[in-house]
Amino acid sequence: MSDTKTYIRPVSITDAEELLAIYAPYVENTAVTFEYDVPSAEEFTERIRSTLTRYPYLAAVEDGKITGYAYAGAFKSRSAYDWSAEVSIYVKKGHHGQGIGRMLYAALEDRLRRQNIVNLYACIASTETEDGSLTRDSIRFHERMGYRLVGEFRKCGCKFGRWYDMVWMEKWIGVHKPHPPQIIPFCALS
């Protein structure tokens, strides 16, 4: 990282446009996300608002500017899945390889543990042959963060006239108790 200190903080609704500016190039120029159209500022704001009712949504900040963000969401809607969460991360172009992703995921995992979440899942676009739209960097990042491959769907998403795969990766961050403690919504953490 640079000499400037990067810190992690919770996202607020007022960050929506800055976060969307980080996300938009992923939609427009990569197959990292299978989303075709950049969401409107209003839609993106609602996504943040919805996430914050139950899960953490965090930003990495350097020199007053957001350089990346990570958040969690429901893995599945059925009650038995309550102790599992899906995680996502996006780092601003030009800021990769500086430890921002590691910082974001460490902070995200800390908060999810405090909520009593024990399983984390990442749904990652994948390809056998890297191209200008998709590399295996996200898979390698998750492996370094302790995730393991648990599933693969072949040629399940088409973007830019090419078929891409999708993998699920998993990390356990807690103990699997027969009667796990109730989940604490993120907004209720002190």
The whole model's pTM is what? 0.94
Domains and CATH numbers, the chain: 6-181 (3.40.630.30)
pLDDT value, residue 1: 44
Length of the chain measured in residues = 190
- The answer on pLDDT for 128 being more than 80 is yes
User: DSSP character for 183?
Assistant: P
Which candidate, 177, 154, 158, places its Cα nearest to that of 166? Answer: 154
pLDDT value, residue 3: 55
Return the bridge partners of 166, or none. 125, 153
| Alpha-carbon Rg for the chain in angstroms | 16
Q: What is the pLDDT of residues 9-19, one digit of tens each?
A: 999 999 999 99
- The answer on pLDDT for 73 being more than 60 is yes
CA distance 55 to 187: 8
